[in-house]
Structure 1
Amino acid sequence: MYHILVAEDEPWIRSSVVEMVSRIGVESFTVSEATNGEEAWALIQELWPTVLITDIMMPKMDGLSLIQKIHDHGIPMNFIIISGYDNFQYAQKAIRYGVTEYLLKPVDIEQLKEALRRAEEGIGSLKDISQYMSRFQQLVNAFGEVSPQTAGRKMADLIDSVLKLKMINPAARLNLLRIFDWKLNGMIKELSLEQPVPSIPAEAEDPVIVRYFNQLTDILILHLSKQSMTNTNHIIKKVCDYLHSHYRKDLSLTEMAQLANMSISYFSSWFKRCTGRTLVQYIQEIRIEKAKQLLLETQLKNYEIAERVGFATQPYFIRVFKNSVGVSPNAFRKRMGQ
């Protein structure tokens, strides 16, 4: 199982691509979506996807700049670029970052299937690295909810296991530690905390490296534990009230982060800590509940309900509904006696 991130600013194109990806191999991978390059960059630091499917022309940050940033930070990932005919030559510039998959709009499902197949073949050791990045993120997500002792022990175990990795070369192992270091220091900077921990020596021995990461963990745990004791109820209530009132819109992570007066990356992790769901999952739950009401109280067609509750396409609505409820909208209506 690996993760795919779809970055596309046009709602109907994004929904169509997500729907096609899900139809191609829902058992092989999970899918998330971003409405622009800036959101995609924030989600990459939370989800660590193995494959990025990105439009080349997007607001905030274009697809090429996004890929360059991923490349510069050494984040292991495979790329599939979606491009309009007019900017296809521009998209080909991404070859310097190892991009080999290009799809012209409108995206054809068979071409996408073949591109994903080739991307999966090229994943190789990325699957092993991705497991460690997911394990790291799960630990980070639990900061503020577990004791410093528990977090420190788990971080020490994780770093020790990375240091002992045999299935990847030393350079890849070092790069994995650098990504962890970059993520934790980014969180410290995001929280405007002073970092009393000196930079890790280039040739540090394993125990020094483990101790260094434990010090970073202690700093973050202490702050997030204090933060959890402060009253953030009014902020999360403000955000959730807005979502319940505007669920029909193409709500973005960027918009909601601005509402909460937070950065995109911090809001994403903060919202999940508060609700237990990602922003997309939370919005979809609202939309599905509204759809269930309409199925029971009206005779509207599926495409009409999809439009009324905020889904860009009917197939996407049906897939999300079935995944959430366990049956299709039509079967739900029949089962409930409509």
Structure 2
Amino acid sequence: MYHILVAEDEPWIRSSVVEMVNRIGEGTITLSEATNGEEAWALIQETWPTVLITDIMMPKIDGLSLIQKIHELGIPMTYIIISGYDNFQYAQKAIRYGVTEYLLKPVDMEQLREALRRCEQNVNNLKEISQYMSRFQQLVNAFGEAAPQTAGRKMSELIDSVLKLKYINPAARLNLLRLFEWKLTGLMNEMSPGQSVPSIPADAEDTAIIRHFNQLADIMIMHYAKQNKTNTNNIIKRVCDYIHTYYKKDISLTEMAQLANMSISYFSSWFKRCTGRTLVQYIQEVRIEKAKQLLLETQLKNYEIAEQVGFATQPYFIRVFKSSVGVSPNAYRKRMWL
């Protein structure tokens, strides 16, 4: 299973692409959604997708600037660009960053299927590296909950396993470690702006590298221990109350991060740590609960319910409902009425 991030600022196009990808993937993928380039950049640091499907023209950070940032940091990823602008200059610039798939709006499902199929080889090449990125993110997410000794041991085991990778060259292995360090440093600066954070020593031996990451893990654990739990509870309540009130809207990660007075990147990992769900998953759960109420209390049709609870399209609503509840909306209504 691999992870795909869809970055698109127009809700109905984003929902349509997500629905097509889900139908093409048939359970072999996981998905994240971003409403602008800034959100996409934050989610990349949180979910480490293997495929990015992005619009070119987006608020905050445009698609090509986003790909440039990914390329410059050496984050392993493959790309599919979608755009309403048939402009060869965009395609030329995209090629510099390794983009080979360029689709015009409205996106055709068969063209998207073929683009994803052509991406498969790159995805397979990135699979093991991506697994290390996922393991690292799981460890970061557990810092606030795991015992210090456990977190330190897991960090040592992860770094040691990266150092023992034989199938990639030393430069690529070092780049993976640099990405880990960059992520930890960014989080520390979020929690304690201006904190001095050491870097991996040049030409360090393996034991020194492991010790370096253990020190970073210790600093992270210390920061989490200092967080005010009461304040955290107040913030998460405010965010969740907002979602329960405005679930019909196209609620964005940017909007919720501003409400919590956090950066997008930090809010994304913080929200998941507090609730056990991503923001999109939490919003969908709220919408599905509201949909279940409407199915039982009204005679509204599926497309009307989808619109009332905030889903952009009826097919998307039906797929999410069935995935969450286990049966289609119609089957749920019949079963509960019986």
TM range (shorter): over 0.9
For 1:152, give the aligned amino acid. G
Q: Give distance in 2, aligned partners of 1:19 and 1:197.
A: 42
What displacement does 1:199 show?
A: 2.3
For 2:219, give the aligned amino acid. I
Q: Give distance in 1, aligned partners of 2:238 and 2:194.
A: 30
Structure-2 residue corresponding to 1:119: 119
Q: Give distance in 2, aligned partners of 1:43 and 1:129.
A: 18
Structure-2 residue corresponding to 1:231: 231
- Unaligned stretches of 5+ in structure 2? none
What displacement does 1:87 show?
A: 4.2
- Unaligned stretches of 5+ in structure 1? none
Q: Give distance in 1, aligned partners of 2:87 and 2:307.
A: 31
Q: Does 1:149 align with 2:149?
A: yes
Structure 1 217/138 Cα, relative in aligned 2: closer, same or farther at 3 Å? same
Asked if structure 2 preserves the Cα contact closer than 8 Å seen for 1:24 and 1:113, the reply is yes
For 1:59, give the aligned amino acid. P
Structure-1 residue corresponding to 2:268: 268
Cα deviations by residue, 1:136-180 (Å, 9 ceiling, x for unpaired): 000000011011111110000000000001222222211110100
Q: Give distance in 2, aligned partners of 1:130 and 1:228.
A: 33
What displacement does 1:334 show?
A: 1.1
What displacement does 1:307 show?
A: 0.3
Q: Give distance in 2, aligned partners of 1:107 and 1:229.
A: 45
For 1:178, give the aligned amino acid. R
Structure-2 residue corresponding to 1:201: 201
Q: Give distance in 1, aligned partners of 2:230 and 2:222.
A: 13
What displacement does 1:197 show?
A: 4.9
Structure-2 residue corresponding to 1:186: 186
For 1:126, give the aligned amino acid. L
Asked if structure 2 preserves the Cα contact closer than 8 Å seen for 1:306 and 1:313, the reply is yes
Structure-2 residue corresponding to 1:61: 61
Asked if structure 1 preserves the Cα contact closer than 8 Å seen for 2:185 and 2:197, the reply is no
What displacement does 1:196 show?
A: 5.2
What displacement does 1:228 show?
A: 5.6
Cα deviations by residue, 1:99-152 (Å, 9 ceiling, x for unpaired): 000111000000000000111122233000000000000000001101111111
Q: Give distance in 2, aligned partners of 1:309 and 1:124.
A: 38
Secondary structure (helix, strand or coil) at the match of 2:300 reads coil
Q: Give distance in 2, aligned partners of 1:302 and 1:17.
A: 20
Structure-2 residue corresponding to 1:306: 306
Structure-2 residue corresponding to 1:245: 245
Asked if structure 1 preserves the Cα contact closer than 8 Å seen for 2:54 and 2:82, the reply is yes
Identify the range of structure 1 (109-118 vs 196-205) with the bigger mean alpha-carbon deviation: 196-205
Q: What is the CA RMSD across the aligned residues, in angstroms?
A: 1.3
Map residues 287-326 of structure 1 onto 2, 5 A cutoff.
Answer: 287-326=287-326
What displacement does 1:193 show?
A: 5.1
Q: Give distance in 1, aligned partners of 2:31 and 2:20.
A: 11
What displacement does 1:192 show?
A: 1.9
Map residues 73-92 of structure 1 onto 2, 5 A cutoff.
Answer: 73-87=73-87, 89-92=89-92
Structure-2 residue corresponding to 1:210: 210
Structure-1 residue corresponding to 2:158: 158
Asked if structure 1 preserves the Cα contact closer than 8 Å seen for 2:236 and 2:274, the reply is yes
Structure-1 residue corresponding to 2:334: 334
For 1:252, give the aligned amino acid. S
Cα deviations by residue, 1:274-304 (Å, 9 ceiling, x for unpaired): 1111100010000000000111111111110
Identify the range of structure 1 (63-72 vs 267-276) with the bigger mean alpha-carbon deviation: 267-276
% identical equivalent positions: 82
Asked if structure 2 preserves the Cα contact closer than 8 Å seen for 1:50 and 1:123, the reply is yes
Q: How many residues align?
A: 338
What displacement does 1:85 show?
A: 3.2
Secondary structure (helix, strand or coil) at the match of 2:337 reads coil
Q: Give distance in 1, aligned partners of 2:287 and 2:280.
A: 11
Identify the range of structure 1 (183-192 vs 127-136) with the bigger mean alpha-carbon deviation: 183-192
Cα deviations by residue, 1:177-208 (Å, 9 ceiling, x for unpaired): 01001101111111125545532222000000
Q: TM-score, normalised by structure 1?
A: 0.97
For 2:70, give the aligned amino acid. I
Secondary structure (helix, strand or coil) at the match of 1:211 reads helix
